[in-house]
Amino acid sequence: MEVWRKLKRIGALPLGPPGYLLPNSAVNHEHFEWLASTIRSYRGDASVIQVQAIDDLPFEQLVKRFNESRSRDYQELIEDLSRIQKERTINSVQIASLRRRFEDLTAIDFFHCALQRRADELLTNITRAKDTKPQGLQLKRGLMKKGEFKNRIWITRPRPRIDRVASAWLIRKFIDPSAKFAFSSRAVAKGRAVSFDTFQGTGFSHVGEDCTFETLCKAFGIRNAKVNAIAEIVHDADLRDEKFGRAEGAAMDAILSGWSQEGLKDETLLERGMDLFDGLFRNMR
């Protein structure tokens, strides 16, 4: 039963008595090696074999089988998401659990099952069903014109953590490519300078249930699937409310905290963090 559960969790395709199959990758190879070690520890027999082709099972048929298996998993998730969408009260803990299920499925969705998009859309609709109107600058989605925020100095608090770092990355990549950043304990903007993630309630900051990164996305109408995912990661790491069930941000914030304890300058800390988010953005599917 333990072996069967692990095979199911890593998305292995049963091939009958001969064994189980996974696409050949370093991660999957490691999964099978550990599984084989587990079987041998129970005095069982197991071999990990790399094959180039199966004569009576062409590649297209293998892809079809993998996708059929994932379709069943996605369909169960879609049914649960549809049921929750109809409920008047949405439980954030419940949504976090569904988010983790979705991420576990996408990790073993090796050939991009067609139902993945439908499940993702439902999950996004549920978690983002209600937009909060930003305060401070009285911003609405898409109201701010990027052209009016070019070549600005963006001021934030010292010792940047995940929300400030991610927001700076978003500013430079999607809003103001020539943005320069400054740090102040008061973080009050003057002249053409713009403040973000401050406690004074001016500039771009937390609004309602949104972190600063989310506020910026809504204020400038940034619509990008990868950015949406990063917004969820930053939200959960910064506000720690498990609204989206994203665990990746905690590790990223821990990295930033470790760099901060090295005594790096604020500017260096911010640039390193922005590189971290740039790598995350490039690696996302």
For residues 201 and 268, give the distance between their C-alpha atoms in angstroms, rounded to a whole number: 26
Residue 149 to residues 11, 180, 197, 199, 217, Cα–Cα distance (Å): 47, 12, 16, 21, 14
- Two tokens at 129? 């069903």
Q: What is the pLDDT of residue 172?
A: 97
For residues 56 and 23, give the distance between their C-alpha atoms in angstroms, rounded to a whole number: 17
**Half-sphere exposure for 167 (CA within 13 Å, toward CB):** 31
Q: Which of 89, 175, 93, 81 is nearest to 130 (CA)?
A: 89
For 183, the 3-state DSSP assignment is strand
For 231, the 3-state DSSP assignment is helix
Q: What is the pLDDT of residue 41?
A: 86
Mean pLDDT by 10 residues, the chain (285 residues): 89 88 91 89 91 91 95 94 77 76 91 93 77 42 76 93 97 96 76 83 81 94 93 92 86 92 93 96 89
Q: What is the pLDDT of residue 190?
A: 67
Q: What is the pLDDT of residue 247?
A: 85
For residues 193 and 103, give the distance between their C-alpha atoms in angstroms, rounded to a whole number: 39
Q: What is the pLDDT of residue 145?
A: 84
Q: What is the pLDDT of residue 187?
A: 56
Predicted TM-score of the model (pTM) = 0.61
Q: What is the pLDDT of residue 91?
A: 64
- Two tokens at 276? 């971290």
